[in-house]
Amino acid sequence: MAKKPTKKPKKNPKKKIAPLEQKFVFVTGGVVSSIGKGLTAASLGALLEARGFKVSIMKCDPYINVDPGTMSPFQHGEVYVTEDGAETDLDLGHYERFTSGVVNRANSVSAGQIYESVISKERRGDYLGGTVQVIPHITDEIKSRIFEAAQGAEIVIVEIGGTVGDIESLPFIESIRQMRVDLGIKNSLFVHVTFVPYIAAAGELKSKPTQHSVKELREVGIQPDILICRSERPISTEIKSKIGLFCSVRPENVISAKDAFSIYEVPLQLNSEGFDTRVIEHFELKSPQPNLDGWNKIVGILKNPKASVTIGIVGKYVDLHESYKSLNEAIVHGGIANNCQVKIEYINSELLSSENVAKILGGVNGILVPGGFGERGSEGKLAAIEFAREAGVPFFGICFGMQLAAIEFAKNVCGIADATSREFATAKSGKRNLIIDFMEEQKNISDKGGTMRLGAYPCQLETDSLAYAVYGERAISERHRHRYEFNNKFRALFEKKGMKATGICKDRDLVEIIEIPEHPWFIGVQFHPEFKSRPLAPHPLFANFVKASLNFESKRARPKKVQKKIKRVAGELLREST
């Protein structure tokens, strides 16, 4: 009997996988600077992440500086340092605080970097003798940097710095115009952030500045798809329709961005206006509604805190709060972790002295001396540190603040009258006791830009330390931005007198953390923990510092020595007032 032929099993057809088409959102700004482009980009990143998308955000700065590392804080605000050691615009701090992403050097580009790269290529002969021009050479370099930052992302948000109409930003505007042609409408989106002023005398919101800003943008070939209209008052449906009509934008794509109670309320406001929904619809993507529970919880705590605490920041850039942007936000995060409101008092260190320090700082619950450079204002910071150490007020020194804490301890506890830093002019006038000195590799460096100890470095904590209790682990990694270090020749003397080095970079035997065990809460760190703090994940040092400051507010937590000091300060304040 013949065998029946066996049927071959059917092969399962391979499932076709659609190719990844990256989506690009380009954010520009008009009417005035500081309009909120960075917060808009960061908030959109947060909303898209909450919908499950992998997001990358980058900043294009039109200034000719290679990076902001050598720029004055009064001109540019804070310099934000990435994990890989790039000195960048403060907006990159917003990107990290609002999303789970970790930015790097590729997420920040300046006109200086672009021109430097193109000129280097021309000198090497890469252009084969061709005439090097803004188009295509500069614009091609800009586009290549954008695509570099886009790697691994589904949606890429690109913020163009400056204000539409500025001559410096024209190559960047032209580059994103070209990208719209290259990518197609369904893979690119133009968001323009503008301003709708309220004229009190007329009792009206005026849309004309927005109309003119869009006109400027259209003159260079870009028609915005969505308008984010900043205003101190809500923008009505009628005004949205008017703006849409004159700017060729659908009224539902005109988004009202009223001044928020907190920057952490911005994602919620933009979501309520349907911003992220419009973006998803434009790209023809499918996603669930965003999970914003974390953001709602943060805003709830900020609006209804259970306690209040006052932190004094003693620095010399206090007239421009943007100089300490990440620091300010990290302190707020510390308050969120403790369900309390943090009131920040900015104290100009140049106006502080041993004679008035008790009067000025007598009412704060914690003292923080931040990073900085130069001898100017250091005497006031030293007076603040001495007050905190003697009165038992919680003290947090960051970078330069840690270095000054070491100098103050050397002067007033170890008896080293001429204790100083290599950075100071006093070091050049014969003073030999350099508590803070150059690192070996810094001694022969003359260039200022990009030559400091920058980026993330590992640190090992002593287990019997406050730092270990705060972090809960021995091995940590933090970001740095400094040129000088604690001089290890003084380490043994400091430990004998009561100040311990509890965090060490083992690879190079560098002191990273100092603390006074006998003090209620006294920590100095050589790194910048504020760069790694987020509202949804506050940095443990800031959370614990705020907690210690809250405890200081309670008399039960104060040692008798502190109570006496506070009573003395109160007496001085009373005598002054009478």
Q: 438 with 453: CB under 8 angstroms? A: no
- Residues labelled as active-site residues: 399, 528, 530
Alpha-carbon span 405 to 385, nearest angstrom: 6
Determine the distance from the C-alpha atom of residue 508 to the mean position of all C-alpha atoms in its chain, rounded to a whole number: 28
Beta bridge partner(s), residue 443: none
Helix (H, G, I), strand (E, B), or coil: what is residue 415?
coil
**b/e map 135-144, b = 16+ CB within 10 Å:** eebbbebbbe
Residues 6 or more apart in contact with residue 91 via CB below 8 angstroms: 37, 38, 41, 42, 59, 80, 159, 161
Alpha-carbon span 22 to 156, nearest angstrom: 7
Beta bridge partner(s), residue 479: 456
Alpha-carbon span 120 to 385, nearest angstrom: 48
Q: 514 with 369: CB under 8 angstroms? A: no
Instruction: Examine residue 136 and say whether the peptide bond preceding it is cis (omega within 30 degrees of 0).
Output: yes
Q: How far is CA 433 from CA 65, 420, 486, 516, in A?
A: 37, 6, 12, 21
* Ordered DSSP codes for 280-316: HHHHT---PPP--HHHHHHHHHHHS-SEEEEEEEEES
